[in-house]
Amino acid sequence: MAVLHRGHAYKVDLQTKDGEEQSYSSLLVEMQAILNDSETDVPSLGTLTTDDGNLWAEARKLAKTVPSNDALITMVESAAFVLCLDEASPATSLERCHAFLLGDPSNRWFDKSLQFVVCANSVSAFLAEHSMIDGSTPQQMHQWVSQAILSHQTPTVPALSPNIPHRRPQKYPFLPDPSTLSKVVRANEQFTSNIASIKFHPYTLISFPSSLFAAHKLPPKTGFQFLIQLAALFHFGTQYAAWETIGLRHFHRGLTDMVQIILPSLSLFLSSASSPNLSKADKRALVFAANFAYVALINRVTRGKGYGRHMAALVHAVRKDRGEEFGISGDEAEDVDDRLFG
């Protein structure tokens, strides 16, 4: 695995030379060695993974011309996962959201499919990059890891015996030239600017078991999705575009697609839900009409007949010839689509 701390990067083997799993005590020694070795912050190549994809690709290509930087990139990209040792100590749910979702970019590698983040106060989480992984896959892993953490018991045998030989983690330095260093500084400033206006708010959700929706003959997933959209309408006072991720795992090297779910039938139900002029029977009919259209849409996109990625590809292809001012609809929905797939 690759381990990041304060911008430093290390390789830690998860197996011994004999192919056995590294012991808990051995890994603990290596983690402490990393913390002791990286007590000061240094510029990190990982910061550039927060940048625009094309800019990061150019910077990556340039960095790989330097042997030490090439070795660093190869080590991280070939690792099973990245372990980020953070200095933050988030105590509340809001602090945890900020630490894990908007944490120090010098201690992340956002091109990596899987990152584990462990804070100084032992609070942890994982980050998954969705391009090649559907959400249900890391969720199963998350449950397994959480159970392992909760059931873990620290070995009673002294773990840090000086008589036991331990392998030292291998350090991979980042040696930037002035141009690359300026890109790291700019990317860090841009990241800080991008997240400055982002705020998190905690919401307490009442339990909505599947049986509640099933009792009204409404699919649980559909019912909860509609419930979220209804709550958003009441909270914000207006209906915004809403996108849902659709897994395409059954296709060869299947990725994911995005679909706009606020269909006319759903919009009609949402706008009529609180109307005193409609009976419960009429509102129920609107719900089922919206459900029929929603399920049909999801099934169609699941079969590969979505438009999200195709439309984004078309827009970017034409923009390449006509310039950035080109647009199809010119509304907020297109801007959202551009940020999702651009």
Q: What secondary structure does DSSP assign to 127-166, as a single string?
A: EE-TTS--THHHHHHHHHHHHHHHH----SS-S--TTS--
pLDDT computed for residue 175 by the predictor: 94
The kind and range of the H/E element at 85 are strand 82-85
Region for residue 6 given its phi and psi (left: phi exceeds 0; alpha: psi -120 to 50; beta: otherwise) = left
Q: Summarize pLDDT for 77-115 with one digit per residue, the tens.
A: 999 999 999 999 999 989 999 999 999 999 999 989 899
How far CA 99 is from CA of 6, 31, 181, in Å, comes to 14, 20, 25
Residue-level pLDDT at 88: 94
The Cα–Cα gap between 68 and 175 comes to: 7
CA 199, CA 197: separation in Å to the nearest integer? 6
Q: pLDDT value at position 135?
A: 67
- For residue range 187-224, what is the model confidence (pLDDT) as tens digits? 999 999 999 988 888 877 777 788 888 888 888 888 88
Tokens of 78: 């070939």
Across 232-243, average pLDDT? 89
Q: For all residues of the chain together, what is the average pLDDT?
A: 85
Q: Determine the pLDDT at residue 140.
A: 82
Stated pTM of the model: 0.71
Q: Residue 197 corresponds to which tokens in the numbers above?
A: 């206006």
CA–CA gap between residue 18 and residue 174 (Å, rounded): 31
Report the chain's C-alpha Rg in angstroms: 24
| Interior/surface letters 194-204, b for 16+ CB within 10 angstroms, e for the rest | eeeeeeeeeee
What proportion of the chain, given as a percentage, has pLDDT over 90? 50
Predicted confidence at residue 249, as pLDDT, reads 65
pLDDT, one tens digit per residue, over 98-107 is 999 999 999 9
Beta strand 114-118 pairing with 82-85: parallel
Tokens 């930087």 map to which residue? 69
Output the six-digit token pair for 211: 């049986």
Note the pLDDT of residue 211. 86
3-state secondary structure of 342: coil
Nearest of 273, 197, 264, 287 to residue 232 by alpha carbon:
273
Eight-class DSSP state of 240: P
Q: Pick 115 or 246 by higher pLDDT.
A: 115
Rounded to whole angstroms, how far apart are CA atoms 297 and 278? Answer: 27
DSSP per-residue codes, 263-332: -HHHHHHHHHTT-TTS-HHHHHHHHHHHHHHHHHHHHHHHTT---HHHHHHHHHHHHHHH-TT--SS-SH
